Structure 1
Amino acid sequence: MPHTIVMTGASRGIGRIAAERIVSESPDVHLLVVARGSSGARLSAALGEGRYAVSHVEADLGSLASVRSAAMAIRDRLSRGDLPPLRGFVGNAGMQYTNALTEGPDGFESTFTVNVLANHLFIRLLEDRFVAPARIVITVSDTHFGDFQHNMGMVPGPAWRSPDALAHTGAFPEPETTAGGRTAYSTSKLAAIYLVHEYARRLPAGIDAVAYNPGFVPGTDLARNADPVSRFAMRRILPALTLTPFATSRGAAGRYLADVVLGATKAPTGSYVDRGRVARSSEESYDPRRERELWDAAERFTAATVDQSRTSSIPLSPNSRPR
Structure 2
Amino acid sequence: MKHTIVMTGASRGIGRVAAEHILRRSPDVHLLVVARGSSGAQLAAELGAGGHTVSHVPADLGSLADVSSAAGKIRDRPDRGDLPPLRGFVGNAGMQYTNALTEGPDGFEATFAVNVLANHLFVRLFQDRFITPARIGVTVSDTHSGDFTHNMGMVPGPVWKSPGVLARTGVFTKRDTAVGGRTAYSTSKLAAIHLVHEYARRLPTGIDAVAYNPGFVPGTGLARNAGPVSRFAMRRIMPVMTLTPFATSRSAAGRYLADVVLGTTRAPTGSYVDRSRVDRSSQESYDPQRERELREAAERFTAAHAARADAISGDGTSGSPR
1:162 and 2:158 aligned: no
Counterpart in the other structure of 2:121: 121
Q: Distance in 2 between matches of 1:125 and 1:225?
A: 30
TM-score in terms of structure 2 length: 0.98
Aligned to 2:100, the other structure's residue is in SS state coil
1:284 and 2:275 aligned: no
Contact kept? 1:125, 1:316, Cα under 8 Å: no
Contact kept? 1:5, 1:88, Cα under 8 Å: yes
Q: Distance in 1 between matches of 2:80 and 2:109?
A: 36
Counterpart in the other structure of 1:79: 79
Contact kept? 1:124, 1:316, Cα under 8 Å: no
Q: Distance in 1 between matches of 2:305 and 2:269?
A: 27
Counterpart in the other structure of 1:7: 7
Q: How big is each residue's C-alpha offset from its partner over 1:29-48, in whole Å with a ceiling of 9 and x where there is no partner?
A: 00000000222111110121
Count residues in correspondence: 321
Q: Distance in 1 between matches of 2:73 and 2:311?
A: 16
Counterpart in the other structure of 1:204: 204
Contact kept? 2:306, 2:318, Cα under 8 Å: no
Q: Distance in 1 between matches of 2:29 and 2:204?
A: 22
Q: How big is each residue's C-alpha offset from its partner over 1:49-81, in whole Å with a ceiling of 9 and x where there is no partner?
A: 210000000000000000011001102322211
Counterpart in the other structure of 2:270: 270
Q: How big is each residue's C-alpha offset from its partner over 1:244-274, in whole Å with a ceiling of 9 and x where there is no partner?
A: 0000000000000000000000000000000
Aligned to 1:136, the other structure's residue is in SS state strand
Counterpart in the other structure of 1:315: 316
> Within 5 A, what are the aligned runs for 1:172-251?
172-251=172-251
Q: Distance in 1 between matches of 2:321 and 2:295?
A: 15
Contact kept? 1:87, 1:135, Cα under 8 Å: yes
Counterpart in the other structure of 1:109: 109
TM-score in terms of structure 1 length: 0.98
How many angstroms does 1:314 deviate by? 2.7
Moved over 6 A (4+): none
How many angstroms does 1:320 deviate by? 6.7
Q: Distance in 2 between matches of 1:319 and 1:39?
A: 31
Aligned to 1:209, the other structure's residue is in SS state strand
Contact kept? 1:6, 1:33, Cα under 8 Å: yes
Structure 2 residue runs of 5 or longer lacking an equivalent are: none
1:25 and 2:25 aligned: yes
Q: Residue type of the partner of 1:31?
A: L
How many angstroms does 1:292 deviate by? 0.5
Q: Distance in 1 between matches of 2:232 and 2:61?
A: 26
Structure 1 residue runs of 5 or longer lacking an equivalent are: none
Aligned to 1:21, the other structure's residue is in SS state helix
Q: Distance in 1 between matches of 2:179 and 2:317?
A: 39
Aligned to 1:297, the other structure's residue is in SS state helix
Contact kept? 2:124, 2:320, Cα under 8 Å: no
Q: Distance in 1 between matches of 2:311 and 2:95?
A: 31
CA RMSD of aligned residues (A): 1.0
Q: Distance in 2 between matches of 1:47 and 1:317?
A: 31
Q: Distance in 1 between matches of 2:2 and 2:222?
A: 32
How many angstroms does 1:226 deviate by? 0.3
